[in-house]
Amino acid sequence: MSAGLGGLRIGLKVVARNPCPDHGFVHTETDSCQKGYLGTTIKEHDMGLYAFAATLIANAFATNNTATSVPDITNTNRSFNANSAVSAILIVAGSGVTTPTFGDYQIQTQIASSSGSISATVNPTITNNTTNGTFTITGTFTNSTGSNATYGNIGIYATANTFSFMFAHDLTNGATGYVVSPAGTVAVTYTVTIS
Ligand SMILES: [Zn+2]
């Protein structure tokens, strides 16, 4: 992150790997053999969406019970009341490679089942230092579809009042995405920084 760049921002790191053709499994970053590695994408400014702002209003800044109306992932407006705690934080992936916009409400062409939707790990510890507060939201997809899958766009889903909302949305690798073979992986790290 650039020094002096204050505010609230979402960073994104995506690492895609196919199984190693020699060893038959997916290598980690520290393995000496790196065959199967597809690429890494790092963005300092991932796109945060309307629903993410709504949860901040509802949970951090709401001083009355005035509801905020937000489209859920079916594009149906739902009310966010004060203290609308969220649950079921998911990272979701789709094959679409259309450039995301702020008004997006769902993933593009979601990949089937657990290959395209995983529970996220939210780091419960905020990193405190003198310049910012940071926490991460992470998850790793495994392509279990049985055939090649294009991981083109990813996002964060959360549930509030039984409805699901998208909080962030971005392409993984421009207009091409990552074409991942069976049993390959896509590791996703969102980093939220407030400074
Ligand atoms: Zn290998």
For residue range 71-115, list pLDDT tens digits in order. 999 999 998 888 888 899 999 999 999 999 999 999 999 999 999
| 189 belongs to a structural domain | yes
State in Å: Cα 30 to ligand 1 middle: 12
Q: Which amino acid is at 115?
A: S
| 12 belongs to a structural domain | yes
> Are the beta carbons of 189 and 161 closer than 8 angstroms?
no
Q: Which amino acid is at 68?
A: T
> Are the beta carbons of 69 and 105 closer than 8 angstroms?
no
State in Å: Cα 102 to ligand 1 middle: 40
Percent of the chain scoring above 70 in pLDDT: 95
pLDDT exceeds cutoff 70 at 4: no
| 3 belongs to a structural domain | no
Mean pLDDT for the stretch of residues 37-43: 97
The pLDDT score that the predictor gives to residue 1 is 47
Q: What is the mean pLDDT of the chain?
A: 92
Domain that holds residue 22: 8-194
**pTM value surpassing 0.75:** yes
Tell which phi-psi region holds residue 174, choosing left (phi > 0), alpha (psi between -120 and 50) or beta: left
Return all residues near 102 (Cβ < 8 A) that are at least 6 apart. Answer: 47, 49, 50
Indicate the range of 35-49, 63-77, 89-103 predicted with least confidence: 63-77
The residue with tokens 């579809």 is 145
- Rounded to whole angstroms, how far apart are CA atoms 116 and 118? 7
State in Å: Cα 56 to ligand 1 middle: 44
Domain total of the chain: 1
Question: Residues 58, 61, 65, 69: is their CA dihedral positive or negative?
Answer: negative
Return all residues near 77 (Cβ < 8 A) that are at least 6 apart. Answer: 69, 70, 71
State in Å: Cα 49 to ligand 1 middle: 39
